[in-house]
Structure 1
């Protein structure tokens, strides 16, 4: 019986390692796709607007990932680069600068949707991703 335990030890180690890696990856993925009120408060008093919060705490949201969308015709910032589309309380905004109109103290949560989720939830034309902002005003 002790030999069986010794033989199982490497297998069990691999199983535990795989489970912990999967859990850590899932956790970091959800952290990188959401920004909560608590995150903003921990970010410091220099975060006055939702735009500043994203720029400092989740800068990767402002640049869509390269890949198949790099060659697709999506909304452009005028300089040829693609921009993420912003929704504030479920209303589509004209541009990223709309984030600057939302005081950080009014933000309940912000979520980033990658290309696949953005197109699935919002339809064609959202290939560069979406930032969804929920404010205290929506909660009323």
Structure 2
């Protein structure tokens, strides 16, 4: 299965494709001082869900690239953020399985779901962490 299709199936229903909440994303935007017509550069933006939320909340536009910046704030996720994120992926996969009982990649999706759950319960929930790093142009 194509990786883009797998990501679409497993994370496509998530409002934010990261283990965080809209409130924390908005707090990160507030910490960055975002306001209407700002241009934002987001590193590692994935499918742009954070940029889209900031666009809606603050009226910004943006682009995702790799570049060097200074860190202005760190907004971490917590256990409930991870649980909600992982659960959303599992629910999306289960929904896809229910809607695609004869799909040729069904066994692949079942194996993928079980691997995700095994990893999460085996070590992911205990050892993984995630945070948004608010970056501003370097002043050095």
Q: TM-score w.r.t. structure 2 length?
A: 0.28
Q: For the pair shown, which has the larger CA radius of gyration, 1 or 2? A: 1
Instruction: Work out which structure has the larger RCO, using CA pairs closer than 8 Å and 6 or more positions apart in sequence.
Output: 2
Q: TM-score w.r.t. structure 1 length?
A: 0.28
